[in-house]
Amino acid sequence: MVCILPTCDHTNVLGYEVAVHSQVKMTLLLSAVAVPINTVFGVTCAILIARNEFPGKLVMMSMLDLPFSISPVVTGHSQKLDMPSWSIARSAQH
């Protein structure tokens, strides 16, 4: 295989920084942990909501629907306004 990207001290054979590999590993690990937990929590909540009437059912349903109501884009913009030093665009300039 011919590598067209330059390599140096901070890169491996493919030209990607070593930090990228650790970030991908962390993402896969967190996904492997979060998916089963969210599956158990989601199925439990769905069964509880569908089969029972209890005080606070509407509040619970509203809390579960909240992530679908608030767009991730709106959340990202609000975080960017609150914490401009964490902005992706700003970190790309440095």
pLDDT tens, position by position, 41-52: 999 999 999 999
Q: What is the DSSP letter of 6?
A: -
Length of the chain: 94
At 45, list the tokens: 């909540």
| Contacts for 19-27: CB closer than 8 Å, 24+ residues apart | none
Distance from the Cα of residue 29 to its chain's centroid:
12
Non-local (6+) Cβ contacts of 86 within 8 A are 79, 80
What is the percent of the chain where pLDDT is above 70? 67
Q: Which of 5-9, 23-27, 38-42, 48-52 has the lowest mean pLDDT?
A: 5-9
11 - beta bridge partners? 17
